[in-house]
């Protein structure tokens, strides 16, 4: 079977990632739920299966980081100058600001608590949401899961430098960027005073997930997926590869969920996640399986979800606002599978609606601007 990790595969795995993210958030944190947010638990061997699956679904973050790095290499290869980079940053931020406005409007309508002005300004570029579960994570209205904003912008900014540094081979480049990234992280905690705690935490978060993103960058640069596939197909039949990859996915799930294989290396300030190993293997396995099955319905659903996945990522934070005003709506179906489908359905069409309104509003502004220019010319 022919295989390449292209646009279609990227969309498929992003569709899988947003499903995993919803499962992770809606069933992985009992402390996030109100008394009205009830769902049926399934017991297997004395364990809650939803909690185990939700814990593994944290891989969604690593998938997004990896795919971001992979896409940045492709985009940098096609980028002509710094203007294209600035345009991408502004385009990404403008979309986030629309989501941010939705949260502010929601907070006004439902009387949710607002953050202090300093935190509010940081949240405008997704900074404070990247600082973990401390200070204002849930006690003020904002896109609570939008840490990806600051992460992605920083990744965009350093991507041209990353392209210049990575010019040897996969192994050398991997050790090089790992050393540089975690070296900067250690240095930041050594030389920066306590007043720079936000910067320190941001650097740690970027080192943890940015490392996986940079691996994605290298996978694209050196066509590692194509190389792996060529080796496997040289010695194994398609069906044997399929069985092997199903086993790989199951084994990754077991190691993460039951063996607790989370960090390769961990100190107070440095966390090198096993997802650096799990994620490329998981992505290859899942996209290969999906291509092998080649079900048009499944592929169409995943691709549709992927196109709205970033907005859905941010928007489902509306169910986890400080007062959790509308959280009960998410858990109306009671059964986890139905809750998952229901929330994906709600957030998908909410995202589509917001995107439509935003495009309509932008077209009106552009028309008015062109009319104003014509008037001035006359």
DSSP reduced 3-state for 308: coil
The reply to whether 354 falls in a domain is yes
Do the domain assignments include residue 114? yes
How far is Cα 99 from Cα 110, in angstroms, rounded to an integer?
16
Mean of the pLDDT values across residues 19-45? Answer: 89
- Assigned domain for 1 exists: no
Does residue 44 come out as left (phi exceeding 0), alpha (psi in the -120 to 50 range) or beta? beta
Q: What is the pTM of this model?
A: 0.90
Q: Note down the domain range covering 366.
A: 7-377
Between 375 and 192, the more confident residue is 192
CB 223 within 8 A of CB 216: no
- State how many domains the chain has: 1
Q: What is the pLDDT of residue 327?
A: 95
User: What single string gives the DSSP state of each residue in 198-228?
Assistant: HHHHHHHHHHHHHHHHHHHHHHHHTTHHHHH
pLDDT at 130: 44
* Lookup: tokens for 374: 């014509």
Token pair for residue 95? 């979309």
Residue 245 resides in a domain:
yes
Tell me the sheet residues that pair with 273: 263
Q: In this structure, is residue 318 part of a structural domain?
A: yes
Strands 271-273 and 263-266: antiparallel
Residue-level pLDDT at 132: 46
Q: What is the average per-residue pLDDT within 101-127? A: 88
What gap in Å lies between CA 129 and CA 3, rounded to an integer?
A: 37
Q: Which residues contact 268 (CB under 8 A, 6 or more apart)?
A: none
Q: Among the listed ranges 33-37, 202-206, 323-327, 369-373, which one has the minimum average pLDDT value?
A: 369-373
What angle do the packed helices 148-165 and 170-191 form, to 10 degrees? 130
Q: What is the pLDDT of residue 369?
A: 61
Residue 2: inside a domain: no
Tens digit of each residue's pLDDT (9 = 90 or more) over 86-103: 888 888 888 899 999 999
Place of tokens 């090198």: 272
Residues 44-67 pLDDT 10s: 777 788 988 998 898 998 999 999
Q: Is residue 277 part of a domain?
A: yes
Top-confidence residue, 202 or 248: 248
What SS3 state is found at 97? Answer: helix
Most confident range (mean pLDDT) of 38-52, 208-222, 334-348 is 334-348
Q: Could you read off the pLDDT of 264-304 as tens digits, one per residue?
A: 766 666 667 788 888 999 999 999 999 999 999 999 999 99
């Amino acid at each position: 079977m022919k295989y390449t990790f292209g646009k279609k595969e990227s969309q498929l795995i992003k569709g899988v990632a947003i499903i995993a993210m919803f499962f992770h958030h809606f069933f992985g944190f009992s402390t996030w739920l109100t008394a009205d947010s009830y769902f049926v638990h399934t017991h297997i061997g004395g364990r809650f299966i939803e909690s185990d699956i939700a814990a593994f679904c944290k891989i969604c973050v690593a998938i997004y980081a990896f795919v971001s790095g992979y896409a940045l290499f492709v985009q940098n290869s096609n980028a002509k100058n710094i203007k294209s980079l600035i345009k991408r940053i502004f385009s990404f931020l403008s979309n986030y600001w629309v989501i941010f406005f939705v949260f502010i409007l929601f907070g006004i309508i439902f009387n949710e608590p607002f953050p202090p002005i300093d935190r509010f300004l940081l949240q405008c570029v997704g900074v404070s949401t990247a600082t973990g579960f401390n200070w204002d994570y849930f006690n003020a209205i904002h896109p609570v899961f939008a840490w990806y904003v600051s992460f992605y912008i920083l990744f965009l900014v350093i991507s041209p430098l990353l392209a210049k540094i990575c010019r040897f081979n996969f192994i050398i480049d991997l050790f090089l960027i790992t050393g540089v990234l975690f070296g900067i992280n250690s240095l930041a905690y050594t030389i920066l005073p306590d007043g720079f705690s936000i910067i320190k935490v941001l650097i740690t978060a970027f080192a943890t997930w940015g490392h996986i993103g940079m691996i994605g960058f290298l996978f694209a640069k050196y066509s590692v997926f194509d190389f792996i596939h060529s080796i496997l197909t040289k010695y194994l039949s398609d069906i044997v590869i399929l069985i092997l990859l199903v086993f790989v996915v199951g084994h990754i799930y077991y190691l993460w969920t039951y063996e607790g294989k989370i960090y390769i290396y961990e100190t107070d300030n440095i966390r090198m996640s096993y997802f650096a190993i799990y994620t490329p293997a998981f992505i290859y396995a899942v996209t290969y399986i999906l291509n092998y099955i080649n079900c048009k319905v499944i592929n169409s659903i995943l691709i549709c979800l992927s196109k709205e996945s970033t907005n859905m990522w941010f928007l489902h934070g509306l169910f986890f606002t400080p007062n959790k005003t509308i959280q009960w709506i998410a858990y109306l179906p009671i059964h986890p599978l139905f809750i998952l489908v229901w929330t994906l359905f709600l957030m998908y069409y909410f995202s589509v609606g917001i995107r439509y309104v935003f495009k309509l509003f932008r077209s009106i502004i552009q028309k008015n601007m062109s009319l104003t220019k014509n008037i001035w010319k006359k």
